[in-house]
Amino acid sequence: MKTESVLKISNLNTYFQTPDGNVSAVCDVDIEIKKGEIVGLIGETGCGKSVLGESVLKVLPENAVSTGSILFQNEELMDLRQKQMREIRGRKIAVIPQNPSEALNPLIKNKKQIYEAIDHNQKRLGNDKRNDARDLLKKMHFKKPDQVLDSYPHRLSGGMKQRVLAAMGLCGNPSLLIADEPTKGLDAIVRSQVIETLMLFKENTGTAMMLITHDLNFAVKVCDRIAVMYAGELIEIGSCSEIYNNPIHPYLMGLFMAQPENGLVPIEGTSPSLINLPQGCRFHGRCEKASDKCRHFHPQMKKLTLTHEVRCWNP
C-alpha cells in the first residue's frame, strides 16, 4: 500500500531581494515527506536548509520571494494568506526552534507557556488544562511533571527545555514537525536527550518530520532518509543506509571526512556566492574530480535506485 504524502515540495525557489542582487537561497527543490517519516536536511551553514523550512512555514522576511508548489496534506500552502497559515502553524505543523533557551520566556513559568500552546489549539478550563499539560510532559518522559510546570525555564537543562517545547508541539496533534538545528551548541549528553525527544515525539504522534541540521552523525541516527543541500539546491537524496554506506557526491564524501572519527579533514575552499552562482556544477571549484563538463554544464538529479538520487556528472 502506498504511504500517504504529508508534504510535497515541487520546483520551489526562494530568493531575497537585496541592493547587491537577488540571493538565491533555495533553487528548484523537489522533495516529499511521507506520513511517519523523518527526513533530514543537511548541509553547511548558509546552504539554504533553514530557508527551505521557513518557506514551508511562510515566515520569510518581506524582501523574500517564493515560487513553486508546497502541498501540505494536499493543500497548496503557497495560495494561503498569513491568517490561514496561523491556523496551520502550531496546530497541523509543529516547530521545534533552533534555540530552546531563547524560545521559552525566562520570566514566565513553564506552565503558563504550555497553557498558551494548549489554548491555541483548544480552549480548556484550569484543572483540565493542568491535567493536559501534565499528560504532555509525561509523554516526554518527565518523571515529575508538576515540578516542571511550577518552575521557570532556567531551572531546566537544555535537553529538558527541548522536551518542553516538544510537549507544546504535541498539543495540536500535528501531522508535520519541523525541527531546526535541534542539536546546535549542545554537549554530548544533551544531544542524546534531544535524539530521545525526537524519537518520543514520533512514537507518540506518528508525525512526519523535517529535521534541519548540519550534524551528519545525528541525522544518520535519527532519520529514515537524508537530503543533502549545497549552495541552495539538493545534490543527493537517499535512505540513511545509502547515504552512510554509499555516498556518491564528492561534497557528501567531504562531509563524512570532516567528521571527528574520520580525522576532521576539512573540505577545501568556500561555498559560492548565492548572488553570483557559478556556471556548471556549483561544487566544481572545491572538487578534485571536476572536469570541463562539470565547470560548464549544470547537472540534473540522476536516479541511481528507487530511493537514491544524485546531482553529479561522475557518479
pLDDT beneath 70, residues of the chain: 1-2, 126, 185-186
**Whether residues 164 and 119 fall in one domain:** yes
Sign, CA dihedral 120-124-130-132, equals negative
| Residues 206 and 70 placed together within one structural domain of the fold | yes
pLDDT, tens digit (0-9, with 9 covering 90-100), for 157-178: 888 888 898 888 878 778 999 9
39: domain CATH number?
3.40.50.300
Question: Do residues 83 and 156 both lie within one domain?
Answer: no
Note down the domain range covering 15. 5-92+176-263+299-310
Helices and strands in the chain, H and E counts: 12, 12
Q: What are phi and psi of 230, to 5 degrees?
A: -150, 125
Number of independent structural domains in the chain: 2
Residues 243/231, Cβ–Cβ less than 8 Å: no
* Residue 272 contacts residue 209 (beta carbons within 8 Å): no
In a domain, 116, yes or no: yes
pLDDT tens digits, 263-283? 889 999 999 999 999 999 999
Nearest Cα neighbor of 281 from 270, 269, 290 is 290
Domain final residue pick, 132, 150, 171:
171
| Boundary of a domain, candidates 153, 171, 189 | 171
**Domain presence at residue 287:** no
Both 200 and 115 in a single domain?
no
Flag whether 197 is in a domain: yes
For position 201, what pLDDT does the model report? Answer: 75
Indicate if 163 and 304 belong to the same structural domain: no
Same domain, 134 and 214: no
Domain boundary among 171, 199, 215: 171
